[in-house]
């Protein structure tokens, strides 16, 4: 995904900056989000986008603003991009998917959802302008979406092979990252209509704790959790449907999750977490994206 970069996102190079987010649970210092724009408002017009109902753009923006306000209030620096500068994809609001930021630099990904393949060059323009080098890209016909990746340890990356992340893309990403990378097959579930990412069914909460919807958890990942001593907070089926697995860790013991998941929230609180919630009816459930999906960590330390 090289070539020319959109001028709308270019700015003066940053001389020095901190970056790198090889963790899902270390303190979040800087994060990138994308405010929903006109394309989000029209997402339901094309069934291929997979939205559940006609989008109320103003409600989505209010929910997103509440999410950003909550996130910034907990400490991280929040970089907000306007979706209308990122091309025609309604899914650009889910900023986690087109980019991975390692300790060595950025890896623009190549989403498997066709309408999202325009996003990585725009995001790469931002990372380059922000002083974050590109260390490699996912090249066609490989595909990888960020929602199918997570760091279980700073030196251990898990990748889900799904309908959006294919074998070639997973192997390309493993080669770029290097070190210990594990690839797991994620169940087909309900296909493209109700696609699931790896992070749809599990999410690390601490070094020794993760959420999980056990009926869809890859057995190899369950075994890895067991071998590493990671306990599981089991998300009930009705709360799986309302993004209960998708928990954004701001810093150890402090998490953000979507409203409407009381049993999972209570289990997290019982495990010692401070739980913050935000309204996610339009910005989250309609487009099937939770708080992790909306926030691409740039720096955790």
User: Each residue's pLDDT tens digit in the chain (301 positions)?
Assistant: 333 323 333 333 444 789 999 999 999 999 999 999 999 998 898 888 889 899 999 999 999 999 999 999 999 999 999 988 777 889 999 999 999 999 999 999 999 999 999 999 999 999 999 999 999 999 999 999 999 999 999 999 999 999 999 999 999 999 999 999 999 999 999 888 778 999 999 999 999 999 999 999 999 999 999 999 999 999 999 999 999 999 999 999 999 999 999 999 999 999 999 999 999 999 999 998 999 999 999 999 9
In sequence order, what are the residues at sequence separation of 6 or more whose Cβ sits closer than 8 angstroms to the Cβ of residue 276?
70, 74, 250, 254, 255, 256, 257
Residue 187: phi and psi, rounded to 5, are: -55, 150
* CA gyration radius, the chain: 17
Residue 225: phi and psi, rounded to 5, are: -55, -50
Identify the pLDDT of residue 170: 98
Sign of CA dihedral 49, 55, 58, 63: negative
Q: Which pTM does this prediction carry?
A: 0.92
Whether the CB-CB separation of 182 and 157 falls below 8 Å is answered with: yes
Identify the pLDDT of residue 194: 77
Q: C-alpha angle with apex 177: 176 to 181, nearest 5 degrees?
A: 120
Q: Which residue ranges form the domains of the chain, and what is each CATH number?
A: 19-300 (3.75.10.10)
Q: Strand 231-234 to strand 248-251: parallel, antiparallel, or no bridges (unpaired)?
A: unpaired
Tokens at 129, concatenated: 């302008």
The DSSP annotation for 77-119 comes to EEEEEEGGGS-S-GGGG-TTTTEEE-SS-EEE-B-SSGGGTTH
The C-alpha torsion from 118 through 124 and 126 to 132, rounded to 10°, is 170
- Give the separation between CA 251 and CA 185, rounded to whole angstroms: 29
Per-position b or e across 169-181, b if 16+ CB within 10 A of its CB = bbbbbbebbeeeb
Identify the pLDDT of residue 47: 87
Q: Which residue has the tokens 């869809």?
A: 216
Identify the pLDDT of residue 85: 78
Q: Which residue has the tokens 């109902």?
A: 53
Q: Strand 248-251 to strand 254-258: parallel, antiparallel, or no bridges (unpaired)?
A: antiparallel
């Amino acid at each position: 995904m090289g070539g020319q970069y959109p001028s709308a996102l270019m700015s003066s190079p940053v001389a020095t900056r901190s970056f790198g987010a090889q963790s899902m649970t270390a303190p979040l210092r800087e994060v990138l989000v994308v405010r929903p724009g006109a394309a989000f408002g029209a997402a339901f017009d094309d069934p291929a986008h997979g939205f559940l109902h006609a989008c109320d753009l103003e409600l989505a923006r209010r929910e997103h603003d509440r999410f950003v306000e909550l996130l910034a209030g907990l400490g991280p620096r929040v970089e907000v991009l306007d979706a209308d500068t990122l091309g025609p994809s309604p899914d650009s609001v889910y900023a986690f998917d087109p980019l991975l930021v390692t300790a060595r630099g950025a890896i623009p990904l190549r989403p498997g959802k066709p309408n999202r393949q325009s996003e990585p060059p725009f995001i790469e323009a931002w990372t380059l302008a922000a002083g974050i080098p590109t260390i490699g890209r996912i090249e066609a016909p490989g595909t990888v979406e960020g929602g199918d990746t997570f760091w279980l340890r700073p030196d251990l990356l898990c990748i889900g092979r799904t309908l959006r992340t294919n074998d070639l893309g997973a192997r390309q990403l493993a080669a770029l990252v290097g070190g210990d990378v594990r690839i797991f097959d994620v169940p087909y579930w309900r296909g493209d209509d109700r696609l699931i990412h790896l992070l749809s069914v599990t999410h690390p909460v601490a070094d020794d704790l993760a959420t999980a919807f056990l009926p869809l958890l890859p057995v190899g990942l369950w075994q890895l959790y067991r071998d590493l001593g990671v306990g599981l907070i089991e998300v009930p089926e009705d709360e799986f449907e309302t993004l209960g697995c998708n928990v954004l860790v701001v810093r150890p013991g402090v998490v953000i999750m979507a409203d409407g998941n009381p049993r999972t929230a209570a289990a997290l609180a019982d495990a010692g977490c401070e739980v913050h919630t935000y309204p996610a009816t339009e910005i989250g459930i309609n487009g099937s994206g939770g708080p992790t999906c909306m926030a691409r960590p740039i720096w955790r330390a």
